[in-house]
Amino acid sequence: MTGAAGGIGQSIVRELLRAGATVHGLDRNAAAQLVLARELGARYHAYTVDLADRSASNRAHAQLLEALGGRCDILVNNVGVAGVVPFESSDDVLLDTTLAVNFVAAFRLTRALLPALRASGHASVVNIASELALIGQSGYSAYCASKGALLAWSRALAVELAGEGIRVNAVCPGPIDTRLLAAEFASCADPGEARRAEIATVPVGRLGVPKEVATVVGFLAGDSAAFVSGAAWSVDGGKTAR
């Protein structure tokens, strides 16, 4: 899985480990990967790689294929970046980086691991999209575009690979209480007010927590979801139902 050392990523890793999986986790944060590997032990294999770097990604793909021994039962594409920038102020660097990390990295890794997913016979691919793949939000034009692409691709892939024993689903988290979201609030003129305003958009009246996303990923990854493919699972406290 990608984005393994982040807030949601770590929760997904722990959920998969609890289910008995061996997890190969990719993340660009070397220090966080080291801490995670020491804590989780032998069933967690850490790879430090910036997935926006295609050459580095290609090397990681080759390492993964060798380590997996030709078979992959579960692939979670979780890595993501976000920048809050008005559309007129956005530049090509923001656009290229956002698309490279949020969409292209998942596309390329899944393609590289396709032989190993086929070898499973009952593989599950879970792509972590966003509420902003379903609704728009000011300042997030590049992010919305990237996560919308990820969701549309997930649906197309679910249809294309259905006959090969590979299910593909997307999870669309709403506002989840992570360091990434806290950093977004901190960039606002009044962080406390920004947090309160975000909570006010959520019908259940609070931010989500990473484990609530991880639980849904764990379900979609497992055999209990054998008839679930091409779906977009909202984990957003009802925000996109408004």
Q: Specify if 174 maps to a domain.
A: yes
Structural domain that includes position 114 = 70-237
Closest CA to 64 of 12, 4, 104, 153: 4
Q: Using the Cα atoms of residue 132, residue 12, residue 115 and residue 73 in order, give the sign of their dihedral.
A: negative
Count of domains observed in the chain: 1
Mean pLDDT, range 201-229, rounded to an integer:
98
CATH number of the domain that residue 103 is part of: 3.40.50.720
Residue 235: pLDDT above 90? yes
Model pTM greater than 0.75? yes
Total residue count of the chain as it appears in this document: 242
Q: Using the Cα atoms of residue 136, residue 138, residue 143 and residue 145 in order, give the sign of their dihedral.
A: positive
Q: Which of 44, 47, 140, 143 is catalytic?
A: 143
pLDDT of residue 17: 98
47 is catalytic: no
Beta strands in 71-220 (DSSP E): 74-77, 123-128, 166-173
What distances in angstroms separate CA 230 from CA 9, 35, 204, 220, one per listed residue?
A: 22, 35, 26, 11
Kindly report the average pLDDT of the chain as a whole number: 96
Which amino acid, 77? N
pLDDT of residue 242: 85
pLDDT of residue 108: 98
Q: Model confidence over 171-185: pLDDT tens digits?
A: 999 999 998 899 889
Q: Model confidence over 42-53: pLDDT tens digits?
A: 999 999 999 999
Q: Specify if 190 maps to a domain.
A: yes
Confidence of residue 84 (pLDDT cuts 50, 70, 90): confident
Q: Specify if 119 maps to a domain.
A: yes
- Rounded distance, CA 242 to CA 203, Å? 8
All residues at 6 or more sequence positions from 230 whose CB lies less than 8 Å from its CB, including other chains = 154, 155, 158, 159, 168, 169
- Rounded distance, CA 77 to CA 83, Å? 19
Q: Specify if 147 maps to a domain.
A: yes
Q: Specify if 176 maps to a domain.
A: yes
Q: Specify if 185 maps to a domain.
A: yes
- Rounded distance, CA 13 to CA 76, Å? 10
Q: Specify if 103 maps to a domain.
A: yes
